Amino acid sequence: MKISQILSVACLSMALTMSVASAKMISNPYFSIDAVNGWEQKSMPQAVPPGTSGTFIYSKSAGTMISIIVIPGNISAKDVAENVAGQYKKNGMTVSGPKKLEGSDAYLLETVSKNKRMKTDVYFAGNGKNLSQITLMGGKRDQAVEFLKTLKPKEENLFPKF
List residues bridging with 127 in a β-sheet: none
In 3D space, the residue among 16, 15, 28 whose CA is nearest the CA of residue 70 turns out to be: 28
Task: Note whether 48 and 17 are within 8 A (CB).
Answer: no
Asked whether residue 110 carries a pLDDT value surpassing 90, the answer given is yes
Q: Sign of dihedral through CA atoms 78, 139, 116, 54?
A: positive
Q: Tens digit of pLDDT for each residue in 22-76?
A: 448 899 999 999 998 899 998 766 666 778 888 999 999 889 999 999 999 999 9
What residue type is 137 in one-letter code? M
Domain at 3-153: CATH code:
3.40.1000.10
Range with lowest mean pLDDT among 11-15, 60-64, 72-76, 151-155: 11-15
Long-range contacts of 14-20 (CB under 8 A, 24+ apart): 14/42, 14/44, 14/45, 14/47, 14/48, 14/54, 14/56, 14/65, 14/67, 15/65, 15/67, 15/137, 16/45, 17/45, 17/46, 17/47, 18/42, 18/43, 18/45, 18/56, 18/58, 18/65, 19/43
Q: Are 81 and 124 in contact (CB under 8 A)?
A: yes
**In the chain, where are the structural domains located?**
3-153
Q: What pLDDT is stored for residue 15 in this prediction?
A: 46
pTM of the model: 0.83
Q: Is the pLDDT of residue 92 over 80?
A: yes
Burial of 79 (0-12, 13-18, 19+ CB in 10 A): middle
How confident is the model over 133-154, as a mean pLDDT?
Answer: 93
- Is the separation of the CB atoms in 108 and 101 below 8 Å? yes
Q: How confident is the model at residue 7 (pLDDT cuts 50, 70, 90)?
A: low
